[in-house]
Structure 1
Amino acid sequence: MSEHIRVTVADGVCTVAMHRPEKKNALTRDMYAGLADAIERTAEDPAIRCLLLAGTAGVFCAGNDIADFRKPRPEDNPAEPGPSHRFYFGLARLEKPVVAAVPGLAIGIGCTMLLHADIVYAAPEARFRLPFVDLGLVPELGASMLVPWLVGKHRAAELLLLGDFFDAATAERMGFVNRIMDRAELLPNATATARALAQKPQEALRLTKRLLRPAAEQALLARMEEERAILAERLRAPETQAIMAHVLKPKPAAR
């Protein structure tokens, strides 16, 4: 388990908090492994009835750690999928309800993972962004299908092609989040909701969640695989490598 992924289980809820404050909870390969472990535990343990995703230090997740993201890694092996593959598809396939509490930044993967949550609460300070094109990449976690399904084609194009920040009020209006609440109330309310879900009749809950999913679930999983294949190609592209090298270039000290 990654030291930057904090997992607690109580009252039928597995709470998974990303905790890497010095990097705004940006995800590394080890963090993906920790998240995947928690999701798989949630799926397999009948005593766990709900998953709660959270961030710490006033941040949800600022996306992938660019330096870690650029490191060479083995290609996905169907027999032994890598950490990010386990996280992506474990979250997409999870039959138990998922609640998310977003206290601040939710960028890239920090934003797209919310598309797989069932109930999302956010603080007024939360800010969201889908910056894939600006990084020379393409969307992941099924975002190229789920964002248009959620907000419509033209708004999805605006979010994914321009990649601008949008605030919590806009996220609520578009359906990315259910409710906005003060940061101090965010995690307690999300925890209360997760505990309430954990007390519901589980088979009825599972079946209802399945019915709420987009009709073309297999198409979504296929799109996720397609996104990953294109993303892997883009990571090797000179355009993307140049962008990421610039992002990692030390910035001049402020005078």
Structure 2
Amino acid sequence: MSTIQVKDDNGVRIITFNRPDKRNALNLQMYTRLTEYLIQGESDNEIRAFMFRGQAECFTSGNDVADFLKNSNLGVDHPAFRFLFCLLDLKKPVVAAVTGSAVGIGTTLLLHCDLVYADASAKFQLPFVRLALVPEAGASMLLPQIVGPVKAAELIMLGESFNAAAAHSYGLINDVIDSDDIFQFALHKAKLLAQQPPISLQATKRLMRYNREEVRTQMKKELAEFATRLASDEAKSRFAAFLKK
């Protein structure tokens, strides 16, 4: 069974996190597949939009910590960060349907999506500081721009979980959708995007994300600090406790 499932539907590439026994925790192989499917879809003129989803119980619980620590030599070629930089560079629009846990990268990847919908079961969390790390995916820049610096400090520095209603009020998601309808609703929106004039749509996305190079620079700064923090005694202690638990 593939841990990343892909289906193309009327111009939309649907990418499903499919590791429910591990709460869709992302390992290095999954990151590699995600990047490959995005690159393929970006070069395919029949694909006009992307959609991320998980199962009803979980979007993704973040990194598979044990697997991530096996390749802790972080840099721009690390599978997780290759995926994040690929997401940053996508020209085509991205929709996300969030159900259940969206932890760590499960929340930060949403900052690079153009439309995000969640159901009432969705729980978002940015636990980086709790793990003695720092944010990634440009979250240290993008989150303050979206929710304001005061709320961003609360969400990142305390790392407490928050629900879909809160995420909607902060402007992190477009709407809260009934659980029975969430996947079809998000897919419908993705198909509407796929029906738009593609060159105009991509140009509009490029104009709206005018600070992409600034975000790239910030992501590289985060990566350097993340690597330093990951190697620290502070982080090793936190991860040891996490894995033991």
- Cα deviation code 1:231-252 (max 9, x no counterpart): 11111111101100001115xx
* Structural mapping, 1:103-142, within 5 Å: 103-142=99-138
Between 89-98 and 2-11, the greater mean CA deviation after superposition:
2-11
* Structural mapping, 1:1-255, within 5 Å: 3-76=2-75, 81-213=77-209, 215-250=210-245
Q: Secondary structure at the match of 2:225?
A: helix
Residue pair 2:54, 2:60 contacting (<8 A) in 1 also: yes
- Cα deviation code 1:70-104 (max 9, x no counterpart): 1134453x6xx232222111101101010000011
Q: Secondary structure at the match of 1:17?
A: strand
Inter-partner Cα distance in structure 2 for 1:177 and 1:113:
12
Task: Return the offset for 1:66.
Answer: 1.1
- Cα deviation code 1:137-158 (max 9, x no counterpart): 0000000000000011111100
Inter-partner Cα distance in structure 2 for 1:187 and 1:72:
34
Task: Return the offset for 1:136.
Answer: 0.5
Inter-partner Cα distance in structure 2 for 1:217 and 1:185:
33
User: What letter corresponds to residue 109 of structure 1 in structure 2?
Assistant: I
User: What letter corresponds to residue 227 of structure 1 in structure 2?
Assistant: E
Q: TM-score scaled to structure 2, two decimals?
A: 0.96
Residue pair 1:19, 1:57 contacting (<8 A) in 2 also: no
Q: Percent identity?
A: 43
Inter-partner Cα distance in structure 1 for 2:152 and 2:208:
20
Mark the CA change 1:74 to 1:156 in structure 2 (over 3 Å): closer, same or farther.
closer
Task: Return the offset for 1:168.
Answer: 0.4
Inter-partner Cα distance in structure 2 for 1:157 and 1:95:
30
Q: How many residues align?
A: 245
Residue pair 1:36, 1:86 contacting (<8 A) in 2 also: yes
Partner of 1:253: none
User: What letter corresponds to residue 232 of structure 2 in structure 1?
Assistant: A
User: What letter corresponds to residue 230 of structure 1 in structure 2?
Assistant: E
Inter-partner Cα distance in structure 2 for 1:43 and 1:178:
24
Task: Return the offset for 1:216.
Answer: 2.5
Between 153-162 and 62-71, the greater mean CA deviation after superposition:
62-71
User: What letter corresponds to residue 165 of structure 2 in structure 1?
Assistant: A
Mark the CA change 1:66 to 1:54 in structure 2 (over 3 Å): closer, same or farther.
same
Inter-partner Cα distance in structure 1 for 2:195 and 2:8:
15
Inter-partner Cα distance in structure 1 for 2:150 and 2:104:
19
Residue pair 1:12, 1:48 contacting (<8 A) in 2 also: yes
Residue pair 1:21, 1:57 contacting (<8 A) in 2 also: no
Residue pair 2:74, 2:223 contacting (<8 A) in 1 also: no
User: What letter corresponds to residue 241 of structure 2 in structure 1?
Assistant: H
Inter-partner Cα distance in structure 2 for 1:118 and 1:21:
25
Residue pair 2:88, 2:212 contacting (<8 A) in 1 also: no
Q: Secondary structure at the match of 1:245?
A: helix
- Cα deviation code 1:203-237 (max 9, x no counterpart): 11011111211x43211101111111111111111
Q: Secondary structure at the match of 1:159?
A: helix
